């Protein structure tokens, strides 16, 4: 696609340099991991819906997003063995994440109880980044568990017992784990019979588990089973696959709002 545009009034050439410059900045400071945003935002939104909103959840959201961006560029530095290349991004997101995280800790020191679990899971991510195998299933599942644990942090920040969000945690864990398996059958493991069987088998098991947890969850997980069964093998590009997952994430959120 051409980047040319009509000449702006009072200039001698196309008015494209500034937008292109902004695009370069965005590419430098925002990772091309579009699917990660749903995984980041869904547990937070579910947690807020279940326990209720409160102002400490705002710095928590900022710390969570900045922390993800910081970890992404740290792992890129680990993977590339060239830390100086990502020093600007690491410095920026560390400066954003640190004061926001500190504000959350000051308000609710109990959130520090989750630090060992996040540290262990991040160590798993770092290990796979060092070996340049960050696309493996186990590494993806470590990221899923990190995202799902956020719902307990949201509850703690709100001063609510973590037990209250256990059902929502289970639903999110089942959904996001299944999504990791399913997306692999659509993109990186397209055509793999073993991955397709794994995805369908897990979704069927998730349907049973979710139904036992709350029968009102059955329609949601039935839709996910149908998705995992019918869509692999079809010529869908990553963009439509991503749009379908956004729709499924919204469906998960709406379902949890209705049953909570």
Q: What pLDDT does 10 receive?
A: 40
Residue with tokens 């690491």: 90
pLDDT tens digits, one per residue of 176-194 = 999 999 999 998 888 889 9
Give the chain's radius of gyration (CA, Å). Answer: 20
Are the C-beta atoms of 151 and 43 separated by less than 8 Å? yes
The answer on pLDDT for 239 being more than 90 is no
The domain spans of the chain are 34-259
53 φ, ψ (degrees, to nearest 5) = -75, 155
Q: What is the pLDDT of residues 105-163, one digit of tens each?
A: 999 999 999 999 999 999 999 999 999 998 899 999 999 999 999 999 999 999 999 99
Strand partners, 14: 7
Per the rule left: phi > 0, alpha: psi between -120 and 50, beta: everything else, 130 is alpha
Residue 166 corresponds to which tokens in the numbers above?
């256990």
* Cβ contact 249:38 at 8 Å: yes
Categorize the per-residue pLDDT at 20 as very low, low, confident or very high, splitting at 50, 70 and 90: low
Indicate yes or no: pTM above 0.85.
Answer: yes
CB of 68 within 8 A of CB of 34? no
């Amino acid at each position: 696609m051409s980047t040319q545009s009509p000449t702006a009034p009072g200039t001698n050439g196309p008015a494209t340099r500034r937008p292109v410059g902004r695009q370069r900045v965005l590419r430098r400071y925002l990772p091309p991991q579009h699917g990660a945003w749903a995984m980041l935002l869904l547990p937070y939104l579910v947690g807020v819906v279940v326990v209720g909103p409160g102002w400490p959840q705002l710095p928590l959201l900022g710390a969570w997003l900045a922390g993800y961006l910081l970890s992404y560029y740290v792992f890129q530095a680990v993977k590339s063995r060239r830390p100086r290349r990502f020093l600007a991004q690491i410095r920026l997101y560390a400066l954003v994440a640190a004061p926001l995280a500190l504000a959350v800790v000051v308000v609710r020191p109990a959130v520090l109880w989750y630090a060992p679990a996040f540290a262990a899971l991040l160590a798993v991510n770092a290990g796979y980044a060092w070996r340049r195998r960050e696309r493996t299933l186990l590494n993806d599942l470590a990221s899923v568990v990190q995202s799902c644990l956020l719902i307990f942090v949201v509850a703690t920040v709100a001063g609510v017992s973590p037990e209250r969000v256990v059902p929502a945690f289970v639903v999110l864990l089942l959904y996001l784990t299944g999504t990791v398996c399913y997306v692999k059958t659509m993109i990186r493991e397209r055509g793999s019979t073993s991955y397709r069987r794994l995805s369908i088998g897990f979704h069927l098991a998730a349907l049973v588990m979710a139904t036992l947890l709350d029968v009102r969850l059955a329609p949601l997980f039935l839709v996910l089973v149908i998705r995992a069964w019918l869509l692999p093998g079809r010529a869908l590009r990553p963009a439509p696959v991503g749009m379908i997952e956004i729709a499924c994430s919204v469906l998960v959120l709406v379902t949890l709002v209705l049953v909570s």
